[in-house]
């Protein structure tokens, strides 16, 4: 009998966004997401944002945090991390983390690779640096969860006909824990004068009962809880040792597995 993840509230699909560099166009983009009930992870370089006066009116709490958006690492100097000594990359990431945590007053453990570049050695090191997931720039045009969250390939950049992608996502008959993941840079909408692309997509995706609107970290945390479930050999009972309620589908039946409980599912 096949068993698949469902998302909080017994939803069968999730939507998330990831936008890089924390430039002033983020203010408009975050507003679009917030107005539509969508959530985004915004990836900061240490040299951008409120520390250097780039945004005299920029308020991280007002723009991002109070609306449930996430702030994540994007490298203090936005460097090509596959070309630097590992020691220099480690210093860059840790500087970025510390600067961001001085803003959020909370752990910052997500990341997007600058330019999408990384090495195997860096990926092995990231968890030691407190990084739990990191996004690439390699579009899949699919809705699969990653096997390795430190190499999280997005569904698409927002320039890649996301209206059609969104339609496929919403009308997928067998979603079973699928994720639509859109990424980009907010300044591209100013440069290309195409804010209507993301505004129409937000209209298209908002208010769907079957969709969980989540940040990158919320999806990571939920899937860690799902992957920690303990099943009997015949998969008829499941124990949830995590602190988070988890939902799953066994065959055609959906089940809620509360934190700490053992639930009969077959």
64-87: pLDDT as tens digits: 999 999 999 998 767 777 667 888
- Side-chain-side CA neighbours of residue 173 (13 Å): 0
What pLDDT score does 160 carry? Answer: 97
Structure token pair of residue 34: 């917030």
| Residue 52 predicted with pLDDT over 90 | no
**Residue boundaries of the structural domains of the chain:** 12-225, 231-264
What pLDDT score does 47 carry? Answer: 56
CA distance 39 to 16: 6
| Closest alpha carbon to 109 in 41, 46, 37, 49 | 41
Per-residue confidence at 46, pLDDT binned at 50, 70, 90? low
Chain segment 158-193, per-residue pLDDT in tens: 999 999 999 999 998 766 789 999 999 999 999 999
Kindly give the pairing relationship between strand 3-6 and strand 133-135: unpaired
Chain segment 220-253, per-residue pLDDT in tens: 999 999 999 999 999 999 999 999 999 999 988 9
What pLDDT score does 50 carry? Answer: 45
Please provide the distance, in angstroms rounded to a whole number, between the alpha carbons at the two ends of the chain: 9
| Closest alpha carbon to 27 in 59, 75, 71 | 59
Order of all β-strands in the sheet with 230-231: 230-231, 237-239, 262-264
Q: 12-225 maps to which CATH number?
A: 3.20.20.370
**Residue 87 near residue 123, CB atoms below 8 Å:** no
Average pLDDT over residues 87-107: 89
CA distance 181 to 200: 16
Rg over CA atoms, the chain: 19
What pLDDT score does 38 carry? Answer: 98
How much of the chain exceeds pLDDT 90, in percent?
72
What pLDDT score does 22 carry? Answer: 83
């Amino acid at each position: 009998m096949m068993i698949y993840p469902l998302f909080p509230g017994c939803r069968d699909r999730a939507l998330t966004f990831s936008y890089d560099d924390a430039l002033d166009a983020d203010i408009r983009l975050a507003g679009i997401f917030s107005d539509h009930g969508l959530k985004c992870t915004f990836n900061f370089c240490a040299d951008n944002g409120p520390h250097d006066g780039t945004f005299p009116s920029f308020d991280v709490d007002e723009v991002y945090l109070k609306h449930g958006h996430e702030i994540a690492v994007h490298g203090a100097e936005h460097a090509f991390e596959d070309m630097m000594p590992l020691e220099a990359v480690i210093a860059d990431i840790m500087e970025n983390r510390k600067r961001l945590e001085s803003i959020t007053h909370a752990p910052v453990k997500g990341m997007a690779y600058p330019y999408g570049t990384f090495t195997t050695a860096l990926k092995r090191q990231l968890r030691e640096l407190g990084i739990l997931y990191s996004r690439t720039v390699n579009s899949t045009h699919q809705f699969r969860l990653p096997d390795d969250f430190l190499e999280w390939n997005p569904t698409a950049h927002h320039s890649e006909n996301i209206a059609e992608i969104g339609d496929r996502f919403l009308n997928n008959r067998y979603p079973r824990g699928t994720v639509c993941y859109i990424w980009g840079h907010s300044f591209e909408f100013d440069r290309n004068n195409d804010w209507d692309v993301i505004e129409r997509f937000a209209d298209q995706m908002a208010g769907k009962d079957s969709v969980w609107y989540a940040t990158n970290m919320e999806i990571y945390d939920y899937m860690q809880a799902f992957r920690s479930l303990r099943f009997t050999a015949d998969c008829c009972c499941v124990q949830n040792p995590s602190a988070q309620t988890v939902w799953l589908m066994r065959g055609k039946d959906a089940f809620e597995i509360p934190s700490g409980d053992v639930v009969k599912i077959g």
